[in-house]
Structure 1
Amino acid sequence: MFFRIALTFTALALVFSPQTQAQEKKFTASPGLQLYSLRSSFKLKGVSRTLDTVKSFGITNVELAGTYDLSAEAFKQELSSRGLKAVSAHFPYARWKKEPEAVAQEAKGLGLEYAGCAWADHKAPMDEPQAREIAATFNKAGEALAKVGIKFFYHLHGFEFQPWKDGETLADLIIKETDPTNVKFQMDVLWVVFPGQDPVKLLEKYAGRWELMHLKDLKKGVATGDLSGKTDVENDVTLGTGQMNWPAILSTAEKVGVKYYFIEDESSISEKQIPASVQFLGSVKW
């Protein structure tokens, strides 16, 4: 009898032990916001009122896509007065190609940790010569930013997944041809899934190169496999309601070293969807 009771207590201890409970993990990173999500609000309500809205979401880290007619210093002050910090920003490809040093100085003035590019100018469909030219531009951009202590990154947008060789794509070529020290990458999950790629496999294949991520969900029922880099903005839906396997994506992102996560919602109802996405991220488990 004593032996049977002892076994029962041992089994219960295993079920409720801290080690067993620790097997379930949660998304604990603090999600930021790509401010492009509120571009309409910036135009209609102005910078101050829009940043008040960002603060109300409980967000502290932001990614910039312009400063909406304010100087870098004035925009930085608007952020700071609300406890918001600009971690990264997107700048046009043409500027990275023509004046990377000038962009680097702007990025430094904004106090950024990362500065990058969200769309590489190209003639569709992208081909190998264009991909190699883009990689060379990014290497120069990375060198210019490294001199001022900032990291360069590229945000893949889907059109880079044109077939290349040996089962790989031009995205593989760009990643392989860029300096891993100076050129990092930002995975926008929608712009990986929409072209028909697997974000988990891509994260694992280039572990250490992904340091930023755009959290964006694709409406259920939308077909994938499109390499245009374009889709209706209304296909951006609240995180957790679309096609993405967020537990698998986020757990892998954590393992491969993603440092910053930004919600990006380009839909016309982004102000409504963003708080719901923040709430969803607080409940994700794996």
Structure 2
Amino acid sequence: MSDERLSRRAMFRTAAGAAAAVGLAGALGGTAHATATWGPPTRRVPRQMISIQLYTLRNLLQADLEGTLEALADIGYRTVELAGTYGRSATEFRAILDRYHLSATSAHVSFDGADVNRLIEDARILGYRKAACAWANFPTADDWRAFAGRLDEAAAAFHKAGIAYGYHNHAHEYALVDGVRPIDVIAEHTDPRTVHFEYDLYWVVAGGADPVEEYHRRFGRVLQFHVKDRASDGSFADLGTGTIDFPDLFRRTWAGPMKQYIVEHDAPTDALNTAKVGYEYLANLRF
């Protein structure tokens, strides 16, 4: 390891101690709320289900892929969600993940206009069993219906390969387009046995919807959460420092399939600190 990487990691570990305190404070604050409302909190997020969307650390990964992944492993992460492989082949990226004892359990991959068979081949190499379309936006309901049809076909191919393929929301899917919500169009025009949802909790809230209500509206189809906090001014926030009541949300969505709880922040000022705060918050949370 180079002196530069050793120095960077040493500084990270110093900052991490303070970050852990922030994360723990947030967790305890949420737990106190849960205790007052529902009684003693007993549940916790299983550590093996805590992941992080690597998009959060995209700038660091571009500059120092191995050092950043090693730092995530030092924090405690054992699983990650991919958003590209930073110029490496699937085989090369898998080798780097293995080196730091990390597993890719899910990925954002766009199917529209892509070679789905190649995506499936890469998924097998990288090892993930869940994937999601990260973005779509269309001006008409008919366009959304057509998209849902394409999504359904792609998901069927992934399903045959043993990979769950779904859809990751932003806020605009909850706004009416030609009198319907695109999120409902997707749900109603895809097979619930093969197309799941990855709910980005920040964007559900930003879209004016109730994440708990939306979870139960699509009960059984939500297999992943992007756990992203929202500041009082509507901006992104590190976990436990914003306005989303995660203890209450997790408690009320506990029933159903086991979910991945994926830390994400779209625009962190210190991505490794954000990753540390997020991991500690989820690992220490009781609800």
**Structures share a fold, TM > 0.5?**
yes
* Alpha-carbon separation, structure 2, partners of 1:58 and 1:99: 35
Instruction: State yes or no: 1:282 paired with 2:267.
Output: no
* Alpha-carbon separation, structure 1, partners of 2:42 and 2:189: 35
C-alpha contact 2:51 2:79 (8 A) present in aligned 1: yes
Which of these residues, 180, 185, 194, is aligned with residue 197 of structure 2? 185
C-alpha contact 2:141 2:178 (8 A) present in aligned 1: no
How many residues end up aligned between the 2 structures? 247
Extract unaligned runs of 5+ from structure 2.
1-38
| Alignment correspondent of 2:259 | 259
| Alignment correspondent of 2:62 | 43
C-alpha contact 1:127 1:170 (8 A) present in aligned 2: no
C-alpha contact 1:160 1:169 (8 A) present in aligned 2: yes
| Alignment correspondent of 1:89 | 107
| Alignment correspondent of 2:84 | 66
Higher deviation after alignment, 189-198 or 273-282: 273-282
- Name the % identity: 29
Could you tell me how far 1:28 is from its partner in structure 2? 2.7
| Alignment correspondent of 2:21 | none
Could you tell me how far 1:212 is from its partner in structure 2? 0.8
Extract unaligned runs of 5+ from structure 1.
1-21, 223-234
- Structure 1-normalised TM-score? 0.81
C-alpha contact 1:211 1:259 (8 A) present in aligned 2: yes
| Alignment correspondent of 1:28 | 45
* Alpha-carbon separation, structure 2, partners of 1:283 and 1:108: 33
Superposed counterparts of 1:116-265, under 5 Å:
116-120=132-136, 122-123=137-138, 126-163=139-176, 169-222=181-234, 235-265=235-265
List per-residue Cα deviations over 1:226-276 (Å, max 9, x = no partner).
xxxxxxxxx221112112110121123321324211101222322112212
C-alpha contact 2:112 2:150 (8 A) present in aligned 1: no
Which of these residues, 97, 113, 118, is aligned with residue 129 of structure 2? 113
List per-residue Cα deviations over 1:90-112 (Å, max 9, x = no partner).
112434xx422222222122111
* Alpha-carbon separation, structure 1, partners of 2:119 and 2:157: 9
- Structure 2-normalised TM-score? 0.80
List per-residue Cα deviations over 1:7-48 (Å, max 9, x = no partner).
xxxxxxxxxxxxxxx952232322111111110001222x21
C-alpha contact 1:72 1:106 (8 A) present in aligned 2: yes
Bigger radius of gyration among the two: 1
List per-residue Cα deviations over 1:109-142 (Å, max 9, x = no partner).
211111221001x34xx32111101111111111
Could you tell me how far 1:283 is from its partner in structure 2? 3.3
Structure with greater contact order relative to length (CA < 8 Å, sep ≥ 6): 2
* Alpha-carbon separation, structure 2, partners of 1:108 and 1:115: 12
| Alignment correspondent of 2:25 | none
| Alignment correspondent of 1:102 | 118
| Alignment correspondent of 2:98 | 80
List per-residue Cα deviations over 1:187-233 (Å, max 9, x = no partner).
010110111111011011111000011110011122xxxxxxxxxxx
Higher deviation after alignment, 259-268 or 83-92: 259-268
The amino acid across from 1:141 in the alignment is A
* Alpha-carbon separation, structure 1, partners of 2:170 and 2:62: 25
